[in-house]
Amino acid sequence: MSYLRELPIFSAFRDVKPIRKGMSGDEKYCITTTDDQRLLLRISDPQDLQRKQKEYRLLKQFAELKIPMPQPVDFGVFGEDKKVYTLLTWIDGYFKDLVPEDFWRLLAYYLSVSAITSIVWAKYFAPERLKDILTMNTDILCQFDNMKQLIPRWYTMAKNSVTEFMNKRRKMFTFRDEVLRYCLEYYGTEPDYPWDDEPEYAVLRNARNKKWYGLIMRISRDKLGFKDSAPVDILNIKCDPIALGSFLEKDGCHPAYHMSKAHWLTARLDGSVDFEEIKALINMSYELTAQKMKAAPKTKKSGGSGDNPAKK
């Protein structure tokens, strides 16, 4: 993410949040500017330049028609790799599980109207489909309890199932082994176990300079602010300060446990953070700790404290 600093408009950014949703191959970020505007930033590969130029021209034409859609803000190429960037205005399109009541009312109204008109259409234009349409409409009535229930049963059941699944998932496993395997296979990192009283605490060192880029610990959840004291594996990783705030808004990420909260981040390894995102955090930490630093008098072991963090 640090390469985004090469963007000619980077000085106007106050916060950068990676977006992990969507099917395109673009890198996507939610940008908050210094004047508190939110924008969508898309980063594409150099070979996509002509296609992205055409898309941007079309977006500008649509914008002139006053179509409610993300408005084009800026377009260009940046950096040594000649990456392509597209900057658009932001439109909130996700409810984040807080679906407003008006949405359900509009959905029920739409389905009710469609149910009636579909029967009339099938009767005169597709009688062979009338039985299927009646079956579908009966199912709609069942889902909404004859339109007396605002939220359909399928949504309530699906939401409860997802919540139950995630709760079981967090109790069933930890990503600890996956993290150690990834660091070994990708960076050749053999973990250090420096504390005899905590044999499971694993330090991950950058091969270029032996600095810490990760620390795996098992602690009680109350040390992260939870009410219970169940054990949980965590990973401390170094984080780009400009992205720190956005990560702390995510479920499973916390201010660094017993390390610098200005430059480090704690991620739970209980499944609350997707493993693909954990790998991205590890990559960022490795890159940050590999950067050259000015020489300074050595007063402590480079990359982290030699003391057991759990004993502080």
Q: How confident is the model at residue 196 (pLDDT cuts 50, 70, 90)?
A: confident
Cβ proximity of 254 and 232 under 8 Å:
no
Q: What is the pLDDT of residues 296-310, one digit of tens each?
A: 445 444 445 556 665
Query: For the segment 86-127, what is each residue's pLDDT rounded down to a tens digit?
Result: 999 988 765 656 788 888 898 999 999 998 999 999 999 999
Please give the CATH number for the structural domain made up of 2-89: 3.30.200.20
Mean pLDDT, range 137-165, rounded to an integer? 85
Residue-wise burial string across 174-193, b where 16 or more C-beta atoms lie within 10 A, e elsewhere: bbbeebbebbeeebebebee
What's the mean pLDDT in 70-74? Answer: 92
Direct distance between the N- and C-terminal alpha carbons of the chain, in angstroms, rounded to an integer: 32
Residue ranges matching CATH 3.90.1150.30 in the chain: 176-293
**pLDDT above 90 covers what percent of the chain?**
51
What's the confidence (pLDDT) of residue 302? 41
* Class at the top of the CATH hierarchy for domain 176-293: alpha beta
As a whole number, the mean pLDDT across the chain is 86
Q: Are residues 244 and 265 in contact, defined by beta-carbon separation less than 8 angstroms? A: yes
What are the backbone dihedrals phi and psi of residue 232, each rounded to the nearest 5 degrees, phi first?
-150, 140
Q: And the tokens for 14?
A: 């106050």
**Helix (H), strand (E), coil (C) string for the chain:** CHHHHHCCCHHHEEEEEEECCCCCCCEEEEEEECCCCEEEEEEECHHHHHHHHHHHHHHHHHHHCCCCCCCEEEEEEECCCCEEEEEEECCCCCCCCCCCHHHHHHHHHHHHHHHHHHHHHHHHHCHHHHHHHHHHHHHHHHHCCCCCCCCCHHHHHHHHHHHHHHHHHHHHCCCHHHHHHHHHHHHCCCCECCCCCCCCCEEEECCCCCCEEEEEEEEEHHHHCCCCCCEEEEEEEECCHHHHHHHHCCCCEEECCCCCCCCEEEEECCCCCCHHHHHHHHHHHHHHHHCCCCCCCCCCCCCCCCCCHHHC
Question: Which carries the bigger pLDDT value, residue 300 or residue 255?
Answer: 255
CA–CA gap between residue 10 and residue 39 (Å, rounded): 12
Sequence ranges of the chain with CATH classification 3.30.200.20? 2-89
Q: Is the pLDDT of residue 130 over 50?
A: yes
Q: Which amino acid is at 149?
A: Q
What confidence tier does 155 reach under pLDDT thresholds 50, 70, 90? confident
Q: 288 pLDDT exceeds 50?
A: yes
Q: State the pLDDT confidence band at 18, using cuts at 50, 70 and 90.
A: confident
